[in-house]
Amino acid sequence: MDKSVNTSLYYVISILKSEKIVSILLGEMHPKEREIRAVATKAPFVPFTLVTASGERYKVPTPDHIFFFPETDEDGILQPEEERAQCFMVSGKGVRYRLLFFDTVTAIDLGGAPSPVLGQ
């Protein structure tokens, strides 16, 4: 049996054994990161505004205006949440950009009333 089959089989067995093992194998993602990534990568893209706890609003008019740090390390291994970047970048006008921490985002405004993100 080749290594890829063994690895796949290991993941399946682990999934069947424990949800905790699954979260370790697949990598935990900050709940707000998961939600913000889902909105930012949805097709077709819908412009949105991120609202922070301070009341600041950051527009994301295109997918090019938001950048998430990689989920894997330089060897392609999925990083656990505690080792992942806890922030992302939102580009403004020109070369201006802001680093936003996931914990500071309180709502995602899709053009209507802002919807609170998980944990708020």
The CATH code of the domain that includes 41 is 2.30.30.100
Count of domains observed in the chain = 1
Residue 109, domain member (yes or no): yes
pLDDT at 94: 84
- Asked whether residue 84 is assigned to any structural domain, the reply reads yes
Task: Name the phi and psi angles at 52, rounded to 5.
Answer: -100, 170
Give a yes or no: residue 100 inside a domain.
yes
How many CB atoms sit inside 10 A of residue 50's CB? 26
pTM of the model: 0.69
Q: Domain range holding 36? A: 27-116
CA distance 51 to 53: 7
User: 1 lies in a domain?
Assistant: no
Residue 105 lies in a domain: yes
Per-residue model confidence as pLDDT tens for the chain (120 residues): 444 444 444 444 444 444 444 344 445 778 899 999 999 999 999 999 999 999 999 999 999 999 999 989 999 999 888 888 999 999 988 889 999 999 999 999 998 656 666 555
Give the C-alpha separation, 70 to 78, whole Å: 9
CB atoms within 10 A of CB 88: 21
